[in-house]
């Protein structure tokens, strides 16, 4: 008879679930990991990884199209979407196999099937009950839509957008957040006409307003159209296309409507409420240590209110494993989690926006370093900036970057924020030349009172 008891039962094998499983196993705990689809979850199969593969293919297309500005004669014959999808799917397959191998290496009891929480110690899968001293809920999220707007036909979510076998001529993207902006960037690079509709005043509205305005400026130059501060009112499909209506009376015709209005917590149908888990607007309520109201039951990732980011869920999974093992890890600072939008140009940030900092602190200082003064950025021919927000005579409160490849700078930025560094602490650090990281060094030099490559 199979032993179905373990120290830890995890419902959901996405970034948060498998990270929790692997770390718990490393700490000597027995683990049962339950997943109804594929190990790796949305991030690996329908989110982060495949979208970034598309974005890289889009970058290659732009490089071919614009090669003459670098003195290289090349031409873009077109987009082989079958080839793009093959490249994308190959990456996902390779990473999936790697995860499966790690699960075996960690001796995880991996169970395929849809799980239902029965009580604080039990998850049932296809009639078999798996019991754990502790249970972790990690069931992820789904693509949301708006009331009266149903997916189907020419109205699609990001999951369908990832698997299109053609490049649409015209697309309307409903939602100017991370998902909407990234797909808009891909399709424009592939040659489509793109129009974004965002109800809030700016694209990527959760970012610092400076970065939002700079992204809008860059998108205008790329020919990406967008309407901000206007609400969607309806969509009508026909055999030949879809017509989108806005509250200002404008209508937009397109081949497809991508609905990118955010992701909802995947908590329905898993027995959470029936087992007594406290929910709020569909999210699982937890304390700062990710404990639910049920003893021994934790929640991780997109079902917990806050940033819906794979690396957030991953770190939370590690945190829970270490907490259960008695290591007493420090609470995760949500503001200290890096955020990246992988469009062209990229937007990357960590910490507080300027407006949020001014709400919390009496005196705030900012400095914005233009990438026009950065040699590597000029080599790459990217515009952008590094904006630093600090408390007056205090630590750095937020770092906000825009420009091609600035997502690679966010690791240093998160260290600066999370270690509560003063600009004076960062200014003496040596940044390799020529790199874009010098922009961070220059910005901190300026805030420390010794600006160098700064005009005005």
- Residue 262, annotated ligand binder? yes
Whether residue 208 contacts residue 387, with contact meaning beta carbons closer than 8 Å, is answered with yes
Which of 96, 431, 433, 453 is catalytic? The answer is: 433
CA distances to 385, 393, 434, 448, 455 from 368, rounded to whole Å, are: 6, 17, 19, 13, 11
Rounded CA-CA distance 154/142 in Å is 19
Q: 139 labelled as ligand-binding?
A: yes
Three-state secondary structure readout of 199-225: CCCCCCCCCCHHHHHHHHHHHHHHCCE
**Residue 79 DSSP SS3:** coil
Token pair recorded at residue 391: 């408390």
Distance of CA 408 to the CA centre of its chain: 14
Angle between helices 81-105 and 48-65 (to 10 degrees): 140
Residue 198, marked binder: yes
Q: Distance between CA atoms of 108 and 85, rounded to whole angstroms?
A: 31
Peptide bond into 345 cis (omega under 30): yes
Is 433 among the residues known to form the active site?
A: yes
In this structure, the strands spanning 385-391 and 339-341 are unpaired
Length of the chain: 456
Is 180 flagged in the annotation as binding? yes
Q: Mapping DSSP to helix (H, G, I), strand (E, B) and coil, where does residue 22 land?
A: helix
Distance of CA 173 to the CA centre of its chain: 17
247 is in an annotated binding site: no
How many C-alpha atoms does 81 have within 13 Å on its Cβ side?
Answer: 14
Q: Does 177 show up as a binding residue in the annotation?
A: yes
Residue 181 assigned as binding residue? yes
Question: Is 182 annotated as belonging to a binding site?
Answer: yes
d(CA 157, CA 23): 33
212 known member of a binding site: no
Dihedral angle at the C-alpha atoms of 92, 98, 100, 101, nearest 10 degrees?
170
Burial group, residue 86, by CB count within 10 angstroms (0-12, 13-18, 19+): exposed
Q: Is 141 annotated as a binding residue?
A: yes
Q: How many CB atoms lie within 10 A of CB 206?
A: 14
DSSP for 6-75 reads: EEEEEE--SHHHHHHHHHHHHTT--EEEEESS-TTHHHHHHSHHHHHHHHHHHHHHHHHHTGGGGT----
Q: Which residues of 172-194 are buried (b: 16+ CB within 10 A; e: fewer)?
A: bbbbbbbbbbbbbbbbbbbebbb
In degrees, rounded to 5, the angle at the alpha carbon of residue 225 between the alpha carbons of residues 221 and 228 is 115
Residue from 300, 364, 288 nearest 329 by CA: 288
Cα–Cα distance for residue pair 202/278, rounded to 1 Å: 34
Binding residues for NAD(+): 175-182, 198, 262
Binding residues for FAD: 52, 115, 139-141, 302
Catalytic sites, residue numbers = 433
Binding residues: 52, 115, 139-141, 175-182, 198, 262, 302
């Amino acid at each position: 008879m199979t032993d179905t008891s373990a120290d830890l039962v995890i419902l959901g094998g996405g970034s948060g679930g498998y990270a929790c499983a692997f770390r718990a196993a490393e700490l000597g705990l027995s683990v049962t990991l339950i997943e109804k689809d594929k190990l790796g979850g949305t991030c690996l199969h329908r989110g982060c990884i495949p979208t970034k593969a598309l974005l890289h293919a889009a970058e290659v297309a732009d490089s071919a199209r614009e090669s003459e500005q670098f003195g290289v004669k090349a031409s873009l014959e077109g987009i082989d979407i079958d080839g793009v999808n093959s490249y994308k799917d190959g990456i996902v397959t390779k990473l999936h196999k790697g995860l499966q191998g790690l699960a075996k290496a960690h001796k995880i009891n991996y169970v395929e099937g849809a799980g239902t929480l029965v009580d604080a110690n039990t998850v049932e899968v296809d009639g078999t009950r798996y019991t754990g001293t502790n249970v972790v809920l990690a069931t992820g999220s789904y693509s949301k839509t708006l009331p009266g707007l149903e997916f189907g036909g020419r109205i699609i979510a990001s999951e369908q957008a990832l698997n299109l076998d053609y490049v649409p001529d015209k697309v309307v993207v409903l939602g100017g957040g991370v998902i909407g902006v990234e797909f808009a960037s891909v399709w424009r690079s592939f040659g489509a006409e793109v129009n974004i509709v965002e109800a809030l005043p700016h694209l990527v509205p959760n970012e610092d307003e400076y970065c939002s305005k700079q992204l809008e400026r860059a998108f205008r130059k790329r020919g990406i159209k967008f309407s901000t501060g206007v609400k969607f009112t309806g969509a009508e499909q026909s055999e030949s296309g879809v017509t989108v209506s806005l509250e200002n009376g404008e209508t937009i015709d397109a081949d497809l409507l991508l609905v990118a209005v955010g992701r909802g917590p995947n908590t329905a149908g898993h027995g959470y409420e029936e087992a007594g888990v406290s929910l709020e607007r569909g999210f699982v309520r937890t304390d700062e240590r990710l404990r639910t109201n049920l003893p021994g039951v934790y929640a991780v990732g997109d079902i917990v209110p806050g940033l819906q980011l794979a690396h957030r869920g991953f770190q939370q999974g590690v945190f829970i494993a270490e907490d259960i093992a008695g290591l007493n890890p420090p609470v995760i600072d949500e503001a200290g989690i890096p955020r990246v939008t992988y469009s062209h140009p990229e937007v990357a940030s960590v910490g507080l926006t300027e407006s949020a900092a001014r709400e919390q602190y009496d005196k705030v200082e900012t400095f914005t370093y233009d990438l026009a003064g950065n040699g590597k950025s000029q080599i790459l021919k990217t515009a952008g900036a590094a904006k630093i927000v600090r408390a007056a005579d205090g630590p750095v409160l937020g770092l906000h970057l825009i420009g091609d490849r600035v997502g690679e700078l966010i690791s240093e930025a998160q260290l600066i924020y999370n270690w509560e560094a003063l600009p004076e602490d960062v200014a003496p650090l040596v940044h390799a030349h020529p790199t874009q990281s010098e922009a961070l060094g220059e910005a901190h030099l300026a805030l420390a009172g010794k600006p160098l490559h700064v005009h005005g």
